[in-house]
Amino acid sequence: MKKALLPVILFLIGFKTSAQDKNLTIIPAPAKITVEKGFYHLTKNTPVSFIGFKQSPITLKDFAATALLLKGVNATGKQTLNGGLKVVLDPAMQIPDEGYRMSVNAGGIKIISNTEKGLFYGLQTLLQLIPDEGDAIPCTEIEDYPRYKYRGLHLDVGRHLFPVSFIKQYIDLLAQYKLNTFHWHLTEDQGWRIEIKKYPKLTSIGGFRDQTLIGKLKVKPEIYDSTRYGGFYTQKEVREVVAYATSKYVTVIPEIEMPGHSLAALAAYPQLACGDNPGPFKSGQIWGVYKDVYCAGKEETFRFLEDVLDEVMSLFPSKYIHIGGDECPKDRWKTCPYCQKRIKDLKLKDEHELQSYFIQRMEKYVNSKGKQIIGWDEILEGGLAKNAVVMSWRGVKGGIAAAQQDHDVIMTPGAFLYLDHTESKSTEEPITNGNYLPLSKMYSYDPTPAELTQTQQKRVIGVQANAWSEYMASPDKVLYMLLPRLFALSEIAWTAPEKKDWINFSESRVPAHLGWLDRKNMMYHVPEPIGAKDTTIKAGSYLLDYKGPVKGAKIYYTINGYFPYQTDYLYEKPVTITVPPNQERIIKSVVITPSGKRSSTVTVHLVNKPESNSNN
């Protein structure tokens, strides 16, 4: 039975409740799961009942009909008499928020929760249990609920813009893996991406840049593509995205950067910069931090930002508004008469306290509209209202400090959760910012710092991965950087640490999920052979003992140093490579998927030569 979203392949041969298949192929791993003998056969004609609803659960019914492809969805909401799938809303049920219970036995399937969102996540799990071929679902008892209430994924559209259709696909992926928050980074030095009707130049001028840097930042000489780039989302499109996300139980949080990362806005309205008659400015053409920022001494700046936020808040029902607050150079403020007057009038110590004034003033305005702010961890400097939420991105210290000051915290440290970091050290990888973040490292991350007391640990409300798009110019590049690391994020955010299992995750569940992606010819990063690594070994033989990281993929290798193709050795079982005395062998291995995608090449340099005698 083919699926419309992201099912997981379940291999039913020799099913038993061993450590290897204890989570079946479910991502994220459930809180509690028991697999019994026997199966229930779910077919397209299986009757479906929605029980306990005061109003028709349109989203859940649509999911059953379009994602599960079930034709027997009961439109009346009455319980079927025999078998089938029963989706039960029971407000009296005792289970943590967003949780659900699922029971699969020979008589049918029952999913029960005290919220519609919990039922939605239960249906997502059911989708993962359906085999790609056949209709037999193992008899299973599952009780499941998330570790964190905030489970987020970010996308920067300021550096590169992505179509609404891709934003919806991105949201589908969030929902499939039980994330509940989409952080939409809408403004940057390189482009303003949201229509503000009161200030049309923000998009007509600030939404475009004359050209874009080619290659890496700080590589001289700088080379550009000489092509005008830009665009923006209309308010109609924003409403469309928000409505779509709501139908997937995903909250959209907008980010409007301030006081830094504002060059595109200054290109449109230069009077908002420091000094008299500032500018002209242009939207940024390279990546990095720009010294021209909003003037903190002019009242016009605050009137402008309040107007912008009024329109933004009317579009996003989220209780949170992200106002940035990071990487704001103080160079212009130090020489600006307006900023210096503000510092003197308010008896502030320096420009850092001026930034605190800026953030706190905007926070009070957002609060007056019934909303709360989120900001990067720099907003801690100078003090905040207790309801401000801090995103800790410069490591974990900011998050620890925020929790100790009784602020809610979302952990998003770059070393563990930045998707613009490369997943492999191979020179065959596409361009990234150069930092290294393999799947294993991301999976190992625990967002709750052990340094905090139990009370302080409760302030860590969630976790988020960030996709900064300097080196992501296309939707496929975003997917390449996201998958399979999205799977690790999902398990970090949802699953209790004691339930995580790297071997089961990486060798069983991830290959199953990637196998489905490959059959759909969806873009993703193909992992290297499991068990392989670039290395030099001094020995007369080497055991090639690998596993495939993608279901259905094959591993090919050479022993002569040449790049491996499908015409070379096919790895089918462990094989010993021998090297005669005084010789070398260069073993290169690659994964090639059924759709033709390739992993990076892994090289093992095998040397069987005696050590040279340095005394001779």
Q: What string of DSSP letters covers 60-78?
A: HHHHHHHTS--SEE-TT-P
Average pLDDT, the chain: 93
Residue 502, token pair as written in the block: 């790297």
Q: What count of other Cβ atoms lies within 10 Å of the Cβ of residue 395?
A: 14
d(Cα 469, Cα 11) in Å, to the nearest integer? 37
d(Cα 311, Cα 192) in Å, to the nearest integer? 14
Q: What count of other Cβ atoms lies within 10 Å of the Cβ of residue 93?
A: 16
pLDDT interval class at 78 (50, 70, 90): low
Which residue type, as a one-letter code, is found at position 256?
Answer: I
pLDDT tens per residue, range 133-163: 889 999 999 999 999 999 999 999 999 999 9
Strand partners, 578: 541
Q: What's the maximum distance between 2 C-alpha atoms anywhere in the chain?
A: 92
pLDDT for 11 equals 32
Residue 593, token pair as written in the block: 């998927």
Q: 194: which DSSP letter? A: B
Residue among 469, 432, 462 nearest 447 (CA): 462
pLDDT tens per residue, range 237-256: 999 999 999 999 999 999 99
pLDDT interval class at 4 (50, 70, 90): very low
Residue bearing tokens 């339930």: 499
Strand partners, 153: 182, 465
pLDDT for 79 equals 54
pLDDT interval class at 616 (50, 70, 90): very low
d(Cα 393, Cα 552) in Å, to the nearest integer? 37
pLDDT interval class at 384 (50, 70, 90): confident
| Cα-Cα-Cα-Cα dihedral sign, residues 172, 177, 180, 186 | negative
Give the N- to C-terminal CA distance of the chain in Å, as an integer: 72
Which residue type, as a one-letter code, is found at position 269?
Answer: Y
pLDDT tens per residue, range 317-340: 999 999 999 999 999 999 999 999
pLDDT interval class at 22 (50, 70, 90): low
| Cα-Cα-Cα-Cα dihedral sign, residues 527, 172, 552, 490 | positive
pLDDT for 19 equals 35
SS3 content of the chain, % helix, strand, coil (to 5): 30, 25, 50
pLDDT for 615 equals 46
441: Cα separation from own chain's centroid: 15
Helix or strand (DSSP H, E) at 19: none
Residue among 165, 185, 328, 336 nearest 253 (CA): 185
Please give the average per-residue pLDDT across 87-111, as a whole number: 97
Please give the average per-residue pLDDT across 297-319, as a whole number: 98
Residue 154, token pair as written in the block: 């970010």
Residue among 119, 2, 134 nearest 68 (CA): 2
pLDDT interval class at 35 (50, 70, 90): very high
The answer to whether residues 86 and 70 touch, using CB atoms and an 8 Å cutoff, is no
432: Cα separation from own chain's centroid: 16
3-state secondary structure 114-150: CCHHHHHHHHHHHHHHCCCCCCEEEEEEEEECCCCCE
pLDDT tens per residue, range 445-476: 999 999 999 999 999 999 999 999 999 999 99
pLDDT for 13 equals 29
pLDDT interval class at 80 (50, 70, 90): low
Instruction: Please give the sequence-ordered ranges of beta strands (E in DSSP) within 227-303, or none if there are none.
Output: 229-230, 251-258
pLDDT tens per residue, range 274-292: 999 999 999 999 999 999 9
Residue among 62, 67, 73 nearest 5 (CA): 67
pLDDT for 62 equals 94
The answer to whether residues 428 and 590 touch, using CB atoms and an 8 Å cutoff, is no
Residue bearing tokens 């060059």: 263
pLDDT for 219 equals 86
340: Cα separation from own chain's centroid: 41
Query: Domains, the chain, ranges and CATH?
Result: 32-144 (3.30.379.10), 150-519 (3.20.20.80), 535-608 (2.60.40)
The answer to whether residues 131 and 9 touch, using CB atoms and an 8 Å cutoff, is yes
Residue among 257, 263, 259, 297 nearest 281 (CA): 263
Residue bearing tokens 């099913």: 15
The answer to whether residues 244 and 168 touch, using CB atoms and an 8 Å cutoff, is yes
Buried b (16+ CB within 10 A) or exposed e, 592-606: bbebebebbbbbbbb
